[in-house]
Every structure is written in C-alpha cells, then in structure tokens.
Amino acid sequence: MKLTLILTFIGATIGFAYASMFGCDTACSITSSSLNTSVYGAFAGLILAFPINKKIKKS
C-alpha cells in the first residue's frame, strides 16, 4: 500500500512539474491547468503501481 501511495504522489508531482514548465495557456485541454495535469499524473502513477504490487505479493 505504501508503494501505491508513493508512486501516486510521484506521478502527481511529475504532472505538476510538467504543467509548470511546459504547459499551454489555453489551447491544450490537459496541460492548461496544473490541477488537471497533477490528476493525470497521479492516475498514471496509480496504474503503474498495481502490477508492481502484484509482483511483490507473489514473492
């Protein structure tokens, strides 16, 4: 569970950093808001965490 939370937080942080550095002002629907990009990053981190957790539980 810790790994899932950590990867979700890392994904949100990377999403926020991406929006701050490279985000569009109005034209892009995902990167126009740092909140949107943070949510998408957190979701990506969550998706990556599930297969890793399954591998750890099998070991």
In Å, what is the CA distance from 16 to each residue of 13, 21, 56?
5, 9, 28
Structure confidence at residue 57 (pLDDT):
74
What are the tens digits of pLDDT across the range 5-21? 999 999 999 988 888 88
The residue to which tokens 């949107």 are assigned: 36
What are the tens digits of pLDDT across the range 21-52? 877 766 777 767 788 889 999 999 999 888 88
3-state class percentages of the chain: helix first, strand second, coil last, to nearest 5: 80, 0, 20
Write down the number of H helices and E strands in the chain.
2, 0
